[in-house]
């Protein structure tokens, strides 16, 4: 039976919010749990949107975090298709777009991120797409199938993870693909040039055309439909559809209007939270893509936009809301599948933070582990078509290991032998 004396409100109907609600119940919380999401779909996971579901290999129902009936069974009150427009911190209330006011004792902001928009002429044409929500993936599946059937052209702005995964899906459907990217390699801001080239070669081998060192400046069309995409170096690429995959911005407007402290852009923006995911207001927490965590392991404020962060951050915030001792310092982790390449990345090593990249295995065959080091210390590791190594890779990072570089590069030496 629900005890109405305490009410915990969760704003955000994604993975972080859904797992937080689940954790509140599994930890024995008997008060009201109210989950508010601005989409009409039940909470779902985002990785399939650019992977299995987009490719038509997974059913739509497979993306949902819980069966629809779970929420009623767990006494979680769902408000779907509703937007929270204001937080009154003094009154401990949130106000919905329809005027409904809900009181909270503890509040979790899991508002996620939204795709960055192309600021060029032509973005109002019918064939310009983003991929962030399930509705986007529903639409893009049909678009890719039609492009493949009609030998159509897709231009993708951005060679990040979403851009590359959609490029792989489009090629599997049979579409022609051109990727426009201002950096010299794909994933440049994540992997640097050394490993980014592996992905350039992978996609080129599957027929993707890259246009590096350029940005889209205009999308041209006729009768409301896309005809071509132009770049700042004067090139024009034929296109029937264009995907904007130029990153995502944390959805902080609600937190900002409530006067909560935000992280600066140098740390990825987002809502500033401490190691227990508490914001500058002691009764408000944040988790998932929107949270910029004071990360003890990396000694910096860190905002991570990946599935594992939502999966683990939501439950951590829920436990903190219940008064439990929480220190959220997990090693960042994400994965990607493109064609016959599968990879897992652990750690945090943006360009400029490392001074050496060590390859363990055969990069040409795309079976290897890459390590990013600074002054001999392992900052991050990425295994490509090499499996069951995430645990030792993360241990090398967490323990601040300074392994022998020759041994680190030698696949005959077990990773476990490298611990200090």
Look at residue 194 in the predicted model and tell me its pLDDT: 84
The pLDDT of residue 1 is 55
Residue with token string 């993707």: 208
Instruction: Report which secondary-structure segment, H or E, holds 229.
Output: strand 225-231
The domains of the chain, with CATH numbers, are 3-114+249-321 (3.50.50.60), 128-246 (3.50.50.60), 340-418 (3.30.390.30)
Cα–Cα dist 7/29, whole Å: 10
pLDDT tens for 170-220 read: 999 999 999 999 999 999 988 988 899 999 999 999 999 999 999 999 999
Q: Indicate whether this model's pTM tops 0.75.
A: yes
For the segment 10-22, what is each residue's pLDDT rounded down to a tens digit?
999 999 999 999 9
Give the sign of the dihedral formed by CA 411, CA 414, CA 416, CA 418.
Answer: negative
Place of tokens 């998932």: 288
Please report the pLDDT score of residue 45 as a whole number.
96
Q: What mean pLDDT is reported for the chain?
A: 95
Count of alpha carbons within 13 angstroms of residue 31, beta-carbon side: 16
For the CA atoms of 281, 282, 283, 286, what is the dihedral angle to 10 degrees?
A: 70
For the segment 70-100, what is each residue's pLDDT rounded down to a tens digit? 999 999 999 999 999 999 999 999 999 999 9
């Amino acid at each position: 039976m629900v005890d109405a004396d305490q009410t915990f409100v969760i704003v955000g109907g994604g993975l972080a919010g859904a797992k937080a609600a689940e954790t509140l119940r599994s930890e024995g919380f008997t008060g009201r749990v109210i989950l508010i999401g601005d989409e009409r779909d039940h909470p779902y996971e985002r990785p399939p949107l650019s992977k299995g579901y987009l490719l038509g290999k997974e059913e739509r129902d497979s993306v949902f975090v819980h069966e629809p009936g779970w929420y009623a069974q767990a006494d979680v009150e769902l408000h779907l298709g509703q937007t929270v427009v204001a937080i009154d911190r003094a009154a401990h209330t949130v106000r919905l777009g329809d005027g409904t006011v809900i009181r909270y004792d503890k509040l979790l902001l899991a508002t996620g991120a939204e795709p960055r928009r192309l600021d060029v002429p032509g973005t109002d044409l019918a064939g310009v797409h983003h991929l962030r929500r399930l509705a986007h993936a529903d639409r893009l599946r049909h678009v890719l199938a039609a492009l493949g059937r009609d030998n159509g052209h897709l231009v993708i702005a951005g060679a990040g993870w979403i851009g590359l995964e959609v490029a792989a899906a489009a090629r599997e459907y049979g579409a022609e693909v051109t990727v426009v990217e201002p950096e010299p390699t794909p994933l440049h801001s994540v992997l640097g040039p050394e490993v980014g080239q592996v992905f350039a070669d992978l996609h080129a081998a599957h027929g993707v055309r890259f246009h590096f060192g350029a940005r889209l400046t205009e999308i041209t069309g006729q009768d409301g439909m896309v005809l071509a995409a132009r770049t700042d170096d004067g090139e024009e690429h034929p296109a029937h559809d264009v995907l904007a995959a130029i990153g995502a911005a944390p959805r902080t407007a609600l937190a900002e209007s409530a006067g909560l402290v935000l992280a600066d852009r140098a740390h990825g923006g987002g809502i500033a939270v401490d190691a227990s995911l508490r914001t500058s207001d002691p009764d408000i927490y944040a988790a998932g893509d929107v949270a910029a965590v004071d990360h003890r392991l990396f000694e910096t404020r860190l905002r991570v936009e990946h599935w594992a962060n939502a999966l683990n951050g939501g439950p951590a915030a829920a436990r903190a809301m219940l008064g439990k001792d929480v220190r959220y310092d997990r090693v960042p982790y994400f994965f990607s599948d493109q064609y016959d390449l599968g990879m897992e990345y652990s750690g945090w090593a943006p360009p400029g933070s490392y001074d050496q990249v060590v390859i363990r295995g055969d990069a040409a065959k795309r079976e290897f582990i890459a390590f990013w080091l600074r002054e001999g210390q392992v900052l991050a590791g990425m295994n490509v078509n090499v499996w069951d190594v995430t645990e030792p890779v993360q241990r090398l990072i967490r323990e601040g290991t300074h392994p022998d570089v020759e041994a680190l590069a030698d696949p005959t030496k077990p990773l476990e032998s490298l611990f200090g």
